[in-house]
Chain A
Amino acid sequence: MFEEQGITPEGDLIVNVGPQHPATHGVLHLVITLNGETIKKVEPHLGYIHRSIEKMCESLSYRQFIYVTSRMDYLSAHINNHACALCVEKGLQVEVPPKAQVIRVLLDELTRIASHELWWGAMAMDIGAFTPFFHAFRERETINDIMEETCGARLTMNFMMPGGVMQDLHPNFQARVKSFIQQYKHKIGEYAELLTGNIIFKNRMKNVGVLSPEDAISYGCTGPTARGSGVSCDIRKLYPYEVYGQVDFDEILETGGDSLSRYMVRIREMQQSIRIIEQLIDGIPEGDFQAKTKAVLKLPKGEFYQRVETARGELGVYIVSEGGTTPYRIKFRSPGFSNLSVLDRIARGGKLGDLVAMMGTLDLVIPDIDR
């Protein structure tokens, strides 16, 4: 009732942001209680893009359900597919050929860079800097072109499948990735020039939206959001899957917990991804890109869980099988949902103008939250 009147008994103003709002990057609805310009409460309302993906998966076979997960966190489509493929492989107990493992990791890391590039551009646009968006998209488009050549699509690839990958790498892949790395190293300086060093940007990010490590853990934050508060949670390091155990890379940690720290984590993470790609790109093993699997996949009765590190944090795939050709139940633990839940905590006491910057550094993808 109070919300209808737009004012609470204490005289605070209630402002609705969304569901259709350019700054929420999707159909997220925030109900914000304001005292003057100070935020007293932020209530996210979800459900505007709920497609019941988990339920849909229950009627699809183990080969079919993977493509749907590209539509969750569409910026890490490869990594979502990867998580599902790994989980099914766990149930089938198939050994993935080394070549397929390397291809998967390479594509994952390219996806991670592409996702962080988009985040960088979009976040800069949120806080009012428009130019970075185009610079970010220049690099991202290069990755998308590489993906298009190898996987046949730019965003929802559906390239990973139980047992390996769908096709072999395109003959141009290595050369193009190498030229991308050159381009990236050449252009990364511009990012600092345009945004990271900018005084307006710094002042808007520093000490804004501080997330303490305790809160990060108790709200279940993962990914760069938690690592910005100094919580070590990189699944690639803690529970290595595929060839992540053999490559050399650092888990990026920042201790500030504010928006600037989360920003820096992602910027530095892109360089680590480049490092991983550099190590793997020359030594792609020979062999099959797909393990032999049966025509109809049947998981044994039981429960299977697999987690991976997407660009936004920890994605968990939980499959309950009754022994049939379709899963009995599938649950996705999406990183975005937990990261969104902390928004109220970090926004309280802050200013309305900073809310968008905080949301930007949480890197929310709404279809991933709602599924």
Chain B
Amino acid sequence: MFITKYIQEVWGAVRSLATGLRRTMYYFTHHKEIITQQYPDNRETLVLPERFKGEVIMPHDDKNEHRCTGCTACELACPNGTIKVITKFDIKPEGKKKKAIDKLVYHLELCTMCNLCVQACPSDAIKMAQTFEHSVFDRGLLTKILNNPGSKIMDGVE
């Protein structure tokens, strides 16, 4: 009685171990089902989804114009003080003064990619880029100015 039970237990144990090993052997011989990506080697073919939140950028068109009005809504929406909008006053041809951005300073090292600034922007001037290899050797390189030098605001954006 005791002996049968003992043998049964041992047999069950051996079988359970063999089942697990069989699964391991299965993958050992079925390379096709392995889904690991060889990251640095597949850089050329790696496509990130278009919604991926990598860093905040300000798109410019070919005339070096952006859509930012300098309203500071993004600065207020940001939880970490990542964005600083430095404004200036442009003198319009008619002689009127108009607020515009001088610099939109963006501290990548503070950003948590929460997307709140993009949501807050009333004129769709900023968006998320799909970059992710952000490491640099100098911390200063992480502070970026999003508007290109000499850029202007697009016509028709208020």
Contact = CB atoms under 8 A, between A and B. Distances in A.
9 contacts: A60-B79, A64-B77, A158-B115, A190-B23, A194-B20, A198-B17, A199-B12, A199-B13, A199-B17
A152 B115 contact: yes
Q: How big is chain A's contact interface, by range?
A: 20 to 34
Given A67-B114, A166-B115, A190-B23, A151 B17 contact: no
Contacts of A288: none
Interface of B: 12-13, 16-17, 19-20, 22-24, 35, 48-49, 51-53, 77-79, 112-116, 119, 128
Contacts of A138: 35
B23 A193 contact: yes
Interface in A99-134: 131
A170 interface: yes
Nearest to B18: A193
Contacts of A141: 35
A241 B82 CA distance: 35
A182 B33 CA distance: 15
Contacts of B112: 67, 156, 158
A172 to B, nearest CB: 9
Secondary structure dominating the interface of A: helix
By Cβ-Cβ distance, the 6 closest A-B pairs, closest first, are A199-B13, A64-B79, A152-B51, A152-B53, A67-B114, A149-B49
Given A67-B116, A141-B35, A197-B20, 12 more contacts: A63-B77, A64-B77, A64-B116, A67-B114, A148-B48, A148-B51, A152-B51, A152-B52, A153-B53, A156-B113, A158-B112, A193-B19
Given A193-B23, A197-B19, A148 B114 contact: no
Given A138-B35, A193-B20, A198-B16, A67 B79 contact: yes
A166 B116 CA distance: 9
A167 interface: yes
A150 interface: yes
A55 to B, nearest CB: 14
Contact of B119 (A166, A197, A198): A166
Interface string A303-339: 0000000000000000000000000000000000000
A167 B77 contact: no
Contacts of A194: 20, 23
A188 interface: no
A259 B115 CA distance: 41
A190 B12 CA distance: 18
Nearest to A131: B24
Contact of B52 (A64, A153, A193): A153
B51 A151 contact: yes
A63 B116 CA distance: 8
A246 B22 CA distance: 42
